[in-house]
Homo-oligomer: A and B are copies of this chain.
C-alpha cells in the first residue's frame, strides 16, 4: 500500500499529462487510473471527482493570477497600459509555473467553463479589455473574440518559443516584446516584417 500523498501526487501528474494531451473531456477517469496504475475507486479516495481534480490542477493555483487580471481590467488606465500590465502578469506567471501554459491552452479551447463557471476566465478578461478599447476608439473596431484570441495567441506563441528553448532573453525583455507585438497588431501595422 502506497502512502496517501504519493498516490495523490501520482494521480495529479498523470491527470495533468492526459488532460493536456486529450483535453479534460477527452481523458476519462479510467484512462487516468490505468495510466497511473491504480483502480478507479482509488482515485476517488484522493479527489472527490473529475471536475475537482481539474480544478485543483488548473484553477486553484491561478486564482491570484485571474483576480489580478480582473483587477487590471477594472482599472481606469488606457488600453495600452492595461495590455502592458496584463502581458507582464502572464510573463511573471510563466516564469513561476510552466503549467500556466496548459491552463491557458485549455482556456482558449473553452474547456474550463464547465469546471469554473464562476471564475474570471483569462480569455474573457482580455476580450472585455479589448472591447472597451474599441468602444473608446483606442484601437480599430472589430470582433472582440477574434482580437482576444489573437492577443492570447501571441502570448502563448512566445510561451511555446520559451518551451522550445530558442529564446534566452530574460522575461522582463520578453514582456516588452510581447506588449510591443500585441500593440503593433492592434494598432494596425504588421507584426512580422521580413
Contacts and interface: CB of A to CB of B under 8 A. Distances in A.
Contact of A161 (B140, B166, B191): B191
Contact of A163 (B146, B154, B185, B186): B146
Contact of A157 (B22, B25, B153): B153
Contacts of A154: 157
Interface in A100-159: 109-110, 140, 142-143, 146-147, 149-150, 153-154, 156-158
Contacts of A186: 166
B161 A150 contact: yes
A192 interface: yes
Contacts of A167: 190
Interface residues of A, number: 41
A153 B150 contact: no
Nearest to A21: B110
Contacts of A176: 194
A76 interface: no
A165 B188 CA distance: 9
Interface in A166-181: 166-167, 169, 176-178, 180-181
A160 interface: yes
25 contacts: A23-B109, A25-B25, A26-B110, A109-B109, A142-B166, A149-B160, A150-B157, A150-B164, A153-B156, A153-B157, A153-B160, A157-B157, A157-B191, A158-B191, A158-B192, A161-B191, A164-B185, A169-B190, A176-B194, A177-B190, A177-B194, A178-B192, A180-B194, A181-B194, A192-B192
Interface of A: 21-23, 25-26, 109-110, 140, 142-143, 146-147, 149-150, 153-154, 156-158, 160-161, 163-167, 169, 176-178, 180-181, 185-186, 188-194
